[in-house]
Chains A and B, each alone.
Chain A
Amino acid sequence: MHFRFFKEFKRNKIGIIGLTILLFLSAAAVFAPILAPHDPWDYSFMYLQQPSMDHLLGTNDIGYDILSELLWSLRTSILFGVSVAAIACTIGTLVGVSAALVGGTYDVIVMRIADSLLAIPTILVLILIAAYFKPSVFILIITLSLIIWPTTARGIRAQTFSLKTKLHIKAAKNMGASTFYIMHKHIMPELFPLCAMGFVTKTRIAVFMEAGLSFLGIFDPTVKSLGIMISYATHFLYMDVWFNWLMPPVLSLSLIIISLAFISYAIEEIFDPRLRSNHDTQI
């Protein structure tokens, strides 16, 4: 099944739209140091300037170039999202697969821990952590990753249980294959769709969380962030800055989240036969 994934993805219009948007935004983020017309931390410009050739999106309340700030904020959002998703998915996959394969007391303990974490309201924990410790980007990435891995772990564990009973796995086991070999050669490739979907979903959650925390002011204030940009812009709406200051970060954030949702939907569609049957008509 997994060998045809990319071929299938190419045929999925929603997935291609999502991926195109994401690649475009990621390219803008990666090349921000080259694309940004000004230093995003340079506030020597006149404040609250309207868009001009020198400042395509104008300047904000302190005198930062809004376009440069936007490009650097995209970097933060995408880097934060991808980092959290990578850590959370790694933890979730390892815990899920090991729980299913090892079983017994180990399974009970780790899954109860996962259940407990699922009951914790993520945003409140992050606010508390950020409030009592230094709310650095690194600490927030680690904290969020440690909170959101259980959903992946549960899905992976269930799928691994199902895979364990498949004939080819049993055959491999009977022929003397080691647990690691079975996991590496047979189970992990089969788990790819779940991992991919988990990764995309977690990236989306993390991007949204980062924007939310920075909007609330619980984030490193020296780091450029879409949430911080939105927060400041909303305080100056009376100055008619919604178009050049508020819209760009809101639109960027929405596009990131929409593109990830599209990709996630496309992956689900490819791997779920019930959705795949009529995917060409859906857009």
Chain B
Amino acid sequence: MTNLKNTLIISLIIFSFILTPVICAAAENELRIADNTGDWGHPSPYLAYGRGPGYLRMHFIFDTLVWKDETSDLIPLLAEDWEYIPEEEVYIFNLVNNAKWHDGEPVTANDVAFTIAYMKEHPYGWVMLDSVDRAEAVDEHTVKIYMSGPYAPFMEDIGGTMPILPEHIWKDVVNPMDYVETGAFIGCGPFKYVDFSKEHGTYKYEAFDEYYLGKPNVDQLIYVKTGDTQMALQLGEADLASIKPEMAETFTEEGFVVIAGPHYWNKKLMINHNKEPLDSVVFRQALAYAIDQDEFVDKSLRGHGKPASHGLISSESQWANPDVLDYPYNPDKAKEMITSLGYELEDGVFTKNGKALKLEVLVSMIGTGGQSMPDRDGEILKNQLEKVGIQIELISLETKIVDQKVINWDFDLAISGHGGIGGDPKILYEKVIQVPGTKASPNTARYNKSEELNSLLDDLVHEMDPVKRQEAVFKAQNVYARELPAISLYYPTWYYAYNPDAGVEWFYTIGGVSKGIPIPQNKIALMRSNAQGEGGIEQTAMQTTDNAQDTPMMPFLGVFAILAAFFIKRSGRKP
């Protein structure tokens, strides 16, 4: 009896030793993304911060009707097919029939119709539903969206950005901004919400086994806040993180895959065009001639970027006008233009009526991607404008205060920046005109002094004919470059590095994720196996080999442990 007991104990010990690495391996099937900001709001549509990283943290939980792969082509997501009937101004979406909410309820056309009605009543910052009249569920999986007028960016702006909400949860939510209950995190996306810590800036998601496109190829997805993202990668604490341009080669040598992003984010000089002399088009053009964009790229970015187009749309966008009006660096021409406005150059400074031409420039430590970073742009701009005779007072303030001052028109010039310039050209409309009923954005010029520009922007949004729309977009860029309601300075090149052994092949999406978020965290990457390379979305659930519960080796390991225990006991007997 004692022998049997001893054998069982030894078996158990050996079995535990064998099992420990297997259990650990199961726990290792997680993917970590490092970020040095951390808190981007709760990962729910109305609670996530209104910037790209906030949307991305929400998009793992909530799906849209359609989505974009790396080529920027629209691919089916909740809607397996769709069509537009121009005569009726109606979009018809047929939904997949196996989609489920994370609480087990089926996703139906009623949820889509409800989301549109709900977001019309409670405006959601990422989509504009003014052009949508109403939505109707035709049957359980077919929804009709009736438009009140033509709206060209519908598919990207609404179809590919609007997260679908579960009606059975949200129908009772009166104030979505205050709704932080469990229901706020029930979506139908590939990952389920597990945890968010505002203090620690961490997010934790778990793969949704019943996802209609198949289980994602990682069990857990975690965002970790870290002061040094590069260090986190090198120490193996993260599998994906942004890196400094100078470190790209080092990371490649260390076995990481480094991806350089397209140029869909611009550093921009906001101009108070309501104030003299900045209200003059000639003066703004003189500023453009006085600014040496190449110097910004060489000094501020240390060569890792490119000068920006003066037409706002990224020069790498399919919508970019190749012949957009340009302002090559020419300080002499700038001086001539300022002189033509009645200014006189005295001791290197322009004066008018005995008063020196002096402007304030607001700067903040806003970094690429929103993180805190030191900024040399103010110093470079001051130097360049003082060279042509404009006195500059540089004021460094906290980002939110700079934004507020710009919104209140309490500034002369301010250095700011935004993305989205590689996606749909509607960004031109959004960054020039203040959409009625929406919150003022510090990146929007709010410029309505040019009838021609207003008319072209209107065409750009409502023209459904692709050729005519392209023409309007090209013309609008030229008029924008002529009027210069703001001056784009440069596009930084962003680098991300990822660990290929983690099993996910990350990519930058052409035009940006959703409405143009220039961050390589498209959820589609998590639906593909690294080994499959160029393959499409994996349609079946991916079986992870290291799932302890499903491992067929388990009984064999148990038998092996018992045999080993007998062997040890026998060899331990005295002869």
Contact = CB atoms under 8 A, between A and B. Distances in A.
A32 to B, nearest CB: 19
Interface string A127-145: 0001110110000000000
Nearest to A228: B374
Interface in B382-412: 382-383, 393-398, 401
Nearest to A48: B302
Nearest to B392: A222
B275 interface: no
A33 interface: no
Contacts of A219: 396
Interface in B212-268: 230, 244, 246-247
Interface in A209-264: 217-222, 231-232, 235, 238-239
Interface in A12-29: none
A246 to B, nearest CB: 13
Nearest to B367: A235
A203 B376 CA distance: 30
A47 B302 contact: yes
A220 B382 CA distance: 13
A238 B249 CA distance: 13
A238 B230 contact: yes
A132 B302 contact: no
A43 interface: yes
B540 to A, nearest CB: 42
Contacts of A238: 230, 244, 246-247
Contacts of A130: 397
A221 B363 contact: yes
Contacts of A62: 299-300, 376, 379-380
Interface string A117-133: 00000000000001110
A134 B395 contact: yes
Nearest to B230: A238
Interface residues on A, range: 20 to 34
B74 interface: no
Contacts of A190: none
B487 to A, nearest CB: 20
Nearest to A47: B302
A221 B401 CA distance: 16
Nearest to B372: A217
Contacts of A235: 373-374
Interface in B294-312: 299-300, 302
Contacts of B247: 238
Nearest to A232: B374
A222 B394 contact: yes
Given A131-B398, A134-B395, A217 B379 contact: no
A8 interface: no
A217 B230 CA distance: 23
A221 B394 contact: yes
Contacts of A37: none
Most interface-central of A62, A63, A217, A220 (chain B CB within 10 A): A217
Contacts of B373: 235
A134 B378 CA distance: 15
Most interface-central of B376, B396, B398, B401 (chain A CB within 10 A): B396
B393 to A, nearest CB: 8
A43 B379 contact: yes
B302 A61 contact: yes
Nearest to A214: B396
Contacts of B394: 220-222
Contacts of A221: 363, 378-379, 394, 396
Contacts of B299: 43, 47, 62-63
B301 to A, nearest CB: 10
Interface in B429-451: none
Contacts of B398: 131, 218
A134 B401 CA distance: 11
A5 to B, nearest CB: 43
B365 interface: yes
Nearest to B395: A134
Interface in A102-124: none
A220 B300 contact: no
Contacts of B244: 238
A238 B254 CA distance: 15
B401 A217 contact: no
Most interface-central of B247, B393, B397 (chain A CB within 10 A): B397
Interface string A63-77: 100000000000000
A131 B400 CA distance: 10
A222 B382 contact: yes
Contacts of B230: 238
A128 to B, nearest CB: 10
B376 A132 contact: no
B32 to A, nearest CB: 20
B397 A222 contact: no
A148 B92 CA distance: 69
A221 B375 CA distance: 10
A141 to B, nearest CB: 17
A135 B374 contact: no
Contact of B374 (A41, A48, A231): A231
A239 B363 CA distance: 26
A135 B395 contact: yes
Interface string A188-220: 000000000000000000000000000001111
Contacts of A222: 379, 382, 394
Contacts of B376: 61-62
Nearest to A216: B365
Contacts of A218: 396-398
Contacts of B302: 47-48, 61
Most interface-central of A61, A131, A219, A238 (chain B CB within 10 A): A238
B493 to A, nearest CB: 16
A235 B230 CA distance: 12
Contacts of A41: 383
Interface in A67-107: none
A135 B396 contact: yes
A62 B363 CA distance: 17
A212 B87 CA distance: 65
Interface of A: 41, 43, 47-48, 61-63, 130-132, 134-135, 217-222, 231-232, 235, 238-239
Given A48-B302, A219-B396, A222-B394, 7 more contacts: A62-B380, A63-B299, A134-B393, A218-B396, A222-B382, A231-B374, A239-B246
- Listed from nearest, the 10 A-B pairs whose CB atoms lie closest are A217-B365, A221-B396, A62-B376, A131-B398, A232-B374, A62-B299, A222-B394, A134-B395, A221-B394, A131-B401
Interface of B: 230, 244, 246-247, 299-300, 302, 363-365, 373-374, 376, 378-380, 382-383, 393-398, 401
23 contacts: A43-B383, A61-B376, A62-B300, A62-B376, A62-B379, A131-B397, A134-B395, A135-B396, A135-B397, A217-B365, A217-B396, A220-B394, A221-B363, A221-B379, A221-B394, A221-B396, A222-B379, A231-B374, A232-B374, A235-B373, A238-B244, A238-B246, A238-B247
